[in-house]
Amino acid sequence: MDRFADRRFGEFASGLAREGLGWDSFFYRNELSFSPVFQRVSPPLIRWIADRRGRILSREIMSDLFARHFSGDITGNGWRAMLDRHDWKALADAARRSARPDPVPVRMRTLAGETRTGIVRMTLVAEPDEAPLWYGTIEDIDERHDLDRHALAAALAESRQHYRWSVELSPQVPWTASASGDIEEVGPRWQELTGIAPARARGRGWIDSLHPDDVDRTLAVWSEKLRTGDPVDVDYRLRLSDGGYRWMRSRASARRDAKGRIVRWYGTLEDIHAQKLAQRELANSEERFRLAVQSARLGIWDFDAVAGTRTWSREFRTMLGLSDTEPATSELALRLVHPEDRPRLAEMLDVVASERMPPHFEATLRVYRADTGALRWIKSVGWSSFSDSGKPLRVIVTFQDVTEERNSEERIRWAATHDPMTRMPNRALWQATLEEMTEQARRTGESFGLILVDIDDLKRTNDTLGHDAGDALLCGFAQRFASCAPADAMIGRLGGDEFGMIAPSLASSAALSAWSAELLGGVRVPYVHNGRSLDYGISMGGAVFGEHGEDAAELLKAADLALYASKSTGRGRLTLFQSQLRADAQQRSSMIHMARQAIVDDLVVPYYQPKADMRTGRILGYEALLRWEHPRTGVHSPDTIAAAFDNAELAVELTEKMLAKVVRDVDRWLRAGHDPGRVAINASAADFIQHDFADYVLAHLARCAVPPQQFEIEVTETVFLGRGAEQVERALHRLSSAGVRIALDDFGTGYASLSHLKQYPVDVLKIDRSFISNIEQDAGDAVIVDAIVKLGSSLGMEVVAEGVETAGQVEMLIARGCTIGQGYLMGRPRPWAAVRSRAA
């Protein structure tokens, strides 16, 4: 050992000489070895020398800190008492493996029985001609070990957190595979997703979690990438722990060694289910759009504003009659468009070219098909997309052949403005034209004539020959009307049997009169339908713009008043408007107003005129005649409200008022012990149509306990001929069967035929006063009266003469067999109180 120290020292001295160091440097070198300062900064250390068998031959404690914790007597095998038994073997194994082994950590027992961490460093030195010796140190690193351990623990915790956040919480599943493709590791989310332990996924176990339909495709891709070494990118459905499937995307790349050989595959498994569903929904949406385009027969014109390219869909080309090879050019589009619509298309194309296209636009153009030349209506709807700077990016235009729809619209529009029977303009179109012509005439100062035409007695044709005959008559007249109309006339069917004409060429009363004469001459020729001649007449009312009215409503009203006058004064003529007609209309309006007031204020009063046996003067019954009593002006006859009887609503209400009061009066007569005989009231056709008239009358009689035999209903012949004749017949039979007598009033003046007397339950024929008034002077009237009396007698009917005013009339009537009369000679109409007083 001394020789070794001398030699080492000699080497040290020679080193000083070589390096040119002086003794000052040597002093500091020596200070490095012996200065106590190093005791405070050097770790606790003991140096030792041992033989090959591990016995310590010499030791030197280099730190007081070491001596504080451990005994210095470690020579020989004494060191074993300081170290753990397991560390003996670790030191021996290290010495056997290498002459200069890596530091060996050991656990050392202190004098106080505690354990501290140390580290043993050693090296084997073999000198020539000497036995090899181990030189080494034992270093107490407990304090430093604690710091390292804490740092290591912190680093480990950070590593674990980093792993957790980057791996465990990652939506992806990392995995590795061997060069042959067997899975070696999978991330923790694998088990969360599939419910299968990672160990079962290793090798080729992961394949069992794939959807059966995706296995072959996935393995084919994986095998191909194993062969080529190219990156893997494949998607498939993975079975989840709940039994469902989700779309996953698997990507991987190979790590190679220095020679380019694949060492391992590193990959990830990514959940792309939402993306896949979105792609599928997009594909489905595109498919639905494609099918919708096809089913709607839409053509598409796609203009890429950036590239300046146009694309026409196959449907669009088919719509235009073009082949797939025909180039999509603006020139071709313009050539196919109807000449009148080309400027509109050219303007649209210019707007596109100048980048001024609106976001949305629509247009309908006429196009000639390129193959057949057929004219079609094409509706286009366009949408534009723009960049953030406002420049057009794309223009998509859809085209639809709307020819059939257009034709349908035209048919609908025609049907809405024309009469389907006569095919003439209807009231709506005719009146709109009238308003337009009125406005134009106002601006220009020109004039025009207006004529309204009614077919006389069309209702009679419908009732006697049927509606097919009436319809044929309407169409026949419409043709004659149109053929007679001036070339500039606007004619139309305004409803029912009313027609109208507006003609600028008939701008005076004289022109209207001349033209009406031509029309009247034309209609005098009978119209033949199914071999039967249909005779008819017309009534006309005319007015001239500027002379009879200054606006459409006023002019139409003037012509309507004139038409009403024609129908009221004989028909078969033209009446031009006069101011008196307006006065007459106002009078009728006043009558209507008074009638309404009489109904509302309950001013209707029945007056009773007796019917008597002209031989004895005995009163047989009464006819209740309508009067109304004004609070200030007194009692008025029905003539003052005559217009109300032409109004169905008012006529029914007046009858209801009369019925209620007459039944009440009859009831009062009977309660007073007086028999008034049969009391009659008049009923109009409207009464039978508005409600069940028979039940209504019988219910009134029942409420007042008036026997039906005390009651009589008088009707004129017109009720047999009007609309609702079947209702009239049912009601009359119902009344007759209940005991109410039916009287036919004004017989001989209407259109009733003898068949009506047989068809309806008529009990009484009342001869109209027009025949009675001249019976003494006119032999013809006397013959008619004689015929009516004989007719009634032969049919078992009672015959009553109306309007009897002289004894001579009575004498002639009795001579002819008519014994019952009604008139001023028998008594004037009086209210119930007066009649009751006289009877008493």
* Same domain as 823, residue 691: yes
**Does 195 map to a domain?**
yes
pLDDT for the residue numbered 230? 94
CATH of the domain at 491: 3.30.70.270
* Same domain as 805, residue 667: yes
Using CA atoms, how far apart are residues 313 and 319, in angstroms rounded to an integer?
10
* Same domain as 189, residue 327: no
* Same domain as 661, residue 617: yes
Task: Give strand pairing partners of 61.
Answer: 46
* Same domain as 34, residue 61: yes
pLDDT for the residue numbered 601? 92
pLDDT for the residue numbered 145? 56
pLDDT for the residue numbered 9? 42
pLDDT tens per residue across span 331-352: 888 888 888 888 887 777 777 6
* Same domain as 133, residue 101: yes
In terms of DSSP bridges, do strands 741-747 and 764-767 run parallel, antiparallel, or are they unpaired?
parallel
Task: Determine which of 30-34, 376-380, 642-646, 661-665 has the lowest per-residue pLDDT on average.
Answer: 30-34
* Same domain as 649, residue 791: yes
* Same domain as 377, residue 452: no
* Same domain as 610, residue 503: no
**Does 286 map to a domain?**
no
Q: Which domain holds residue 402?
A: 296-407
Residues 681 and 624 sit within 8 Å (Cβ to Cβ): yes
CA distances to 185, 464, 484, 622 from 667, in Å = 116, 42, 63, 14
Task: Determine which of 21-30, 312-321, 358-367, 787-796 has the lowest per-residue pLDDT on average.
Answer: 21-30
Class of residue 528 by CB neighbours under 10 A (exposed 0-12, middle 13-18, buried 19+):
exposed
Using CA atoms, how far apart are residues 551 and 509, in angstroms rounded to an integer?
18
Does the structure show a pLDDT above 80 at 800?
yes
Q: Could you give the percent of the chain with pLDDT greater than 90?
A: 38
**Higher-scoring residue by pLDDT: 355, 193:** 193
pLDDT band for position 34 (50/70/90)? low
**Does 148 map to a domain?**
no
CATH of the domain at 30: 3.30.450.20
pLDDT tens per residue across span 158-174: 666 665 555 555 668 89
DSSP per position, 35-82? -THHHHHSPPEEEEEE-TTS-EEEEEE--HHHHHHS-S--TBTTHHHH
**Does 162 map to a domain?**
no
Using CA atoms, how far apart are residues 624 and 644, in angstroms rounded to an integer?
18
**Higher-scoring residue by pLDDT: 530, 86:** 86
pLDDT tens per residue across span 503-522: 999 999 999 999 988 888 87
pLDDT band for position 253 (50/70/90)? very high
State the sign of the Cα–Cα–Cα–Cα dihedral 540, 546, 547, 550: positive
pLDDT tens per residue across span 455-509: 887 777 776 677 888 888 888 888 888 988 999 999 999 988 899 999 999 999 9
Does the structure show a pLDDT above 60 at 691?
yes
Task: Give strand pairing partners of 59.
Answer: 48
Residues 441 and 546 sit within 8 Å (Cβ to Cβ): yes
* Same domain as 646, residue 520: no
pLDDT tens per residue across span 39-58: 555 567 888 888 988 898 88
**Higher-scoring residue by pLDDT: 23, 234:** 234
pLDDT for the residue numbered 357? 63
Q: Identify the domain boundary among 375, 407, 439.
A: 407
**Does 152 map to a domain?**
no
**What does the mean pLDDT of the chain come to?**
83
pLDDT band for position 371 (50/70/90)? confident
pLDDT for the residue numbered 76? 86
Does the structure show a pLDDT above 60 at 35?
no
* Same domain as 382, residue 351: yes
pLDDT for the residue numbered 153? 60
Burial 594-628 (b: 16+ CB within 10 A, else e): bbbebbeeebbbbbbbbbbebeeeebbbbbbbbbb
Using CA atoms, how far apart are residues 305 and 352, in angstroms rounded to an integer?
8
**Does 756 map to a domain?**
yes
